[in-house]
Structure 1
């Protein structure tokens, strides 16, 4: 399939894990991908590998918590590829996340965390939407989590915020022919999860699932490509849960 031939896509947090897999899958379907990440070494390597595999990708550094950095990524993409068609807001603090309570987490850390995990998606959307509109529209996918419906402290607060942001932006941008949706993964087997979550907790989570295994980044690709593509041209403001049946929700 080549649903994204000649389409330009920015994927934030694409230097590793789920973001890297999204970038690779989009390039495999013809997209011209900007690998955007604060980790320059890993990000450049992902772009290099995509190119070696026959795709089109370039790296640009991005601190999604900084509006000026987001604007720079957008301007670079327009200069490099002539426009912006799609955005995947995947960047987040997770593997290095502090484990603390909402009641006790240091305030400066909380603000930094939210600046990336919640405000970052808004910063990037604000940076790209006019470019998308000028090109006739586009689509955005935000990375949420089923943690939005489970006890998970400030991480869950950020993801619940992503869900609401998705719905609000879908209405604000619908008139510009820009769709905004989100994916809410369950526990996924990434380096970050292996670093952050003890094995005993992982085992407990797996037992709560209908499909009793951790997800993989590849399990999420189909949802991401669907929501970005014209296959979902009348789908906006939705949060698609991909979690092996861990949570039930309306």
Structure 2
């Protein structure tokens, strides 16, 4: 599992809910948090995939549960959050990671059509709202309660419906940071750049990787561990005075004021 031995037990007794937890960043987040002692709750539209990821964490000695759920389904999200809180006493961390992406959602809006654009915003934007509101009652007043949203470098560069949906996520981060502050809940976001996940390594053409890297300040590719480390920091007491911020982990590609 991800996470250093030195930090093992740092989150003992805490409960972390991760949407889109069956694969990619979500799965890695769960592994890293479980390595530090948290109970990782992995929610994914693909229920068997969520349970398989949770089983992998348990096999490695961690604590995890998998749930089938679509973040755009308000009733389902409310039911899962209530069940998790009843079983574990509350929720300490929510990671709004579920999202639609890939080339399919980076086409011109006229090409995508309204139904696909609507679905994109239902998941990426409204799904963030739904999961946050569903978890809020069970996070209020918890020590170091924190929400981490996953935005994207595309949010800061413009040009696609996907990027616009992730720009909305960055905006919601500020809105919820203000609205949830009285409950003692911090809200921050991460905007990943080009990160060489297994999917990106296998599916993204080499020429595209080279082109994107040339847009960065740093002559290096981002790794999944870079995003995991950003999440671990923002959700930890070390970031106790940070809220409403979006951390760009892009090698400088999306740098800006």
TM-score range, shorter chain: over 0.9
Q: Are the counterparts in 2 of residues 145 and 159 from structure 1 also a CA contact under 8 Å?
A: yes
Counterpart position of 2:149: 142
Counterpart position of 1:21: 28
Q: Are the counterparts in 2 of residues 24 and 50 from structure 1 also a CA contact under 8 Å?
A: yes
Equivalent of 1:63, from 66, 70, 74?
Answer: 70
Counterpart position of 1:162: 169
Counterpart position of 1:34: 41
How much is the aligned-residue C-alpha RMSD, in angstroms?
1.6
Instruction: Return structure 1 stretches of 4+ with deviation > 6 angstroms.
Output: none
- Tell me how far apart the structure 1 counterparts of residues 200 and 101 of structure 2 sit (CA, whole Å): 8
- Tell me how far apart the structure 2 counterparts of residues 120 and 7 of structure 1 sit (CA, whole Å): 23
- Tell me how far apart the structure 2 counterparts of residues 64 and 96 of structure 1 sit (CA, whole Å): 21
Counterpart position of 2:229: 222
Which runs of 5 or more residues in structure 1 are unaligned? none
Q: Does 1:231 align with 2:238?
A: yes
Q: Are the counterparts in 1 of residues 248 and 255 from structure 2 also a CA contact under 8 Å?
A: no
**TM-fit CA distance, 1:151:** 3.2
TM-score of the superposed pair, with normalisation by structure 2? 0.92
TM-score of the superposed pair, with normalisation by structure 1? 0.94
The structure showing larger relative contact order (alpha-carbon pairs under 8 Å, at least 6 residues apart) is: 1
- Tell me how far apart the structure 2 counterparts of residues 99 and 167 of structure 1 sit (CA, whole Å): 25
Counterpart position of 1:91: 98
Counterpart position of 2:61: 54
Q: Secondary structure at the match of 1:87?
A: strand
Q: Does 1:206 align with 2:213?
A: yes
Q: 1:166/1:177 Cα in 2 relative to 1: closer, same or farther (>3 Å)? A: same
Q: Are the counterparts in 1 of residues 105 and 120 from structure 2 also a CA contact under 8 Å?
A: no
**TM-fit CA distance, 1:194:** 4.5
In the TM superposition, 1:61-210 aligns within 5 A as: 61-95=68-102, 97-133=104-140, 135=142, 138-194=145-201, 197-210=204-217
Q: Secondary structure at the match of 1:215?
A: coil
Q: Does 1:247 align with 2:249?
A: no
- Tell me how far apart the structure 2 counterparts of residues 71 and 148 of structure 1 sit (CA, whole Å): 28
**TM-fit CA distance, 1:53:** 0.8
**TM-fit CA distance, 1:14:** 1.0
Q: 1:136/1:208 Cα in 2 relative to 1: closer, same or farther (>3 Å)? A: closer
**TM-fit CA distance, 1:142:** 0.0
**TM-fit CA distance, 1:111:** 0.5
